[in-house]
Structure 1
């Protein structure tokens, strides 16, 4: 099972910054390759800024993790669904407004 890092996480990967029922996505930092609940948690716990994943590099890279079932997804898979394709838990669609923070 992949680990989700963050501050004050619950069992589904929600953190102190984002804690709505749909906030279950963790994104992988390109620099350290760790899944974090959010960029704010990452930047408070690491000695480098969250580095977005270059999605044009390799579309088969697993870069998004569902905090409920720990299903890893590619960028394309994540953006194709409103729910986890494995456990069907709803995603927070507002997270897509932060695309520039997590993907380049």
Structure 2
């Protein structure tokens, strides 16, 4: 389980599929500075935290370990799961901050179909 701010910060960047250099190019935070944040050698100010939260699509509450919900922002985009095909299996599904394996997604899909029949 991820517990520290620095671990969550690094995970958020990786889930956003960004390298430290990508972050530097997008928002101007030096990659060595970002590395310091991710290794607990430095602490970002509140403005930097907000900037990184927006870039990574996560909430500050999640970064600080106050909630398990990574993204609390409301968007107009809705995700629909089609239980009649296998698209669920190929989609990214997380539970308690861990990605489900293909086997777990197959079992979950089977349980959802049983529940709804």
Fold match, TM over 0.5? Answer: no
Scaled by the length of structure 1, the TM-score of the pair is 0.29
Scaled by the length of structure 2, the TM-score of the pair is 0.27
Structure with higher helix content:
2
Greater RCO structure (CA 8 Å; 6+ sep): 1
